[in-house]
Amino acid sequence: MTAPELLEVRDLGVEFTAPDGSPLRAVRGVSFTLRRGETLAVVGESGSGKSTTALALNRMLPGTGRITTGTVRLEGRDLAAADETELRAVRGARIGMVFQDPMTALNPVLTAGRHIDEALRAHGNHDKAARRARTVELLDRVGIPDPHRRADDHPHQFSGGQRQRILIAMALAGEPDVLLADEPTTALDATVQDQILALLGDLNRETGTALVLITHNMGVVARACERVLVMYGGTVVEDGPTAEVLTRPRHPYTAGLLAAVP
């Protein structure tokens, strides 16, 4: 028997409820497979369902969002049908997330070190001294200079790029099998974007964490991702090796997207 794939999404459907009470189908019939250590890009215009798909994977849908069809199998276990206890064990420890805006994700009154310390504690590390050592190690790993000292600084004392690095360090605290990064560099200037994306690529190669990168940057997709999903109107319209999708797009939306790349 072959081992199950790391993540197998089949026929995923997600609905929200509109203010007038009518159902709003955000995602339908989405299927894809993520192998261990793979790098997968998800692209598509605003509102095409990228974030909703990512959030559905570990059942963190906001507001009225709910999974209405399909399965999300993590090594065979269907998370779409899992209970809260099981989901808590998955979030962070199996599937880590990095979001777009580090400032809203960080608590202004807590130090960088405390953020990571809390993440380590949530993942069952109960030895304070070991957590401190690991915190400094993680800050160093994500490229924060002088991590011993900087662990005691607060979010506003870091640059935007450094705050995103702190969020990545928090996501790494659980040693996840999958790192979901939802437009992690949108709020940053171009040079810093490249540095953060390079860091995510390095982490994928060094730790074997699979990377799902939601991005608008086709240059990054071409350089950093083995496979690409293109979403349009809540469905997946392309799924293939990046080189193939970029040279022989099958859907008109993808062709238009590529024409827009300088």
Residues within the interface to ligand ADP (CB under 6 A) = 16, 24, 26, 44, 46-52, 62-63, 65
- Provide the 3-class DSSP secondary structure of residue 16: strand
How many angstroms separate the CA atoms of 253 and 110, rounded?
A: 44
Pick 2 or 46: Cβ nearer ligand ADP: 46
Pick 14 or 178: Cβ nearer ligand ADP: 14
| Min separation Cβ 81 and ligand ADP, Å | 22
Q: Does 53 bind Mg ion (CB under 5 A)?
A: no
Contact region with Mg ion (CB under 5 A), list: 43-51, 65-73, 107-115, 197-205: 43-51
Counting residues that bind Mg ion (by CB under 5 A) gives 1
Pick 62 or 76: Cβ nearer ligand ADP: 62
Query: Binding partner of residue 16 among ligand ADP, Mg ion, none, CB under 5 to 8 Å per kind?
Result: ligand ADP
Element (H, E) at 177: none
4: Cβ contacts below 8 Å, ≥ 6 apart: 73, 75, 76
Q: Does 48 bind Mg ion (CB under 5 A)?
A: no
How many angstroms separate the CA atoms of 214 and 51, rounded?
A: 8
**Contact pick of 48, 51, 209, 215 for Mg ion (by CB under 5 A):** 51
- Provide the 3-class DSSP secondary structure of residue 150: helix
How many angstroms separate the CA atoms of 17 and 246, rounded?
A: 36
Asked if residue 244 lies in contact with residue 79, where contact means CB atoms within 8 angstroms, the answer is: no
Pick 50 or 94: Cβ nearer ligand ADP: 50
Buried b (16+ CB within 10 A) or exposed e, 157-186: ebebbbbbbbbbbbbbbbebbbbbbbbbbe
Residues 224-253 that bind Mg ion (CB under 5 A): none
Residues 113-132 that bind Mg ion (CB under 5 A): none
- Interaction site with Mg ion (CB under 5 A): 51
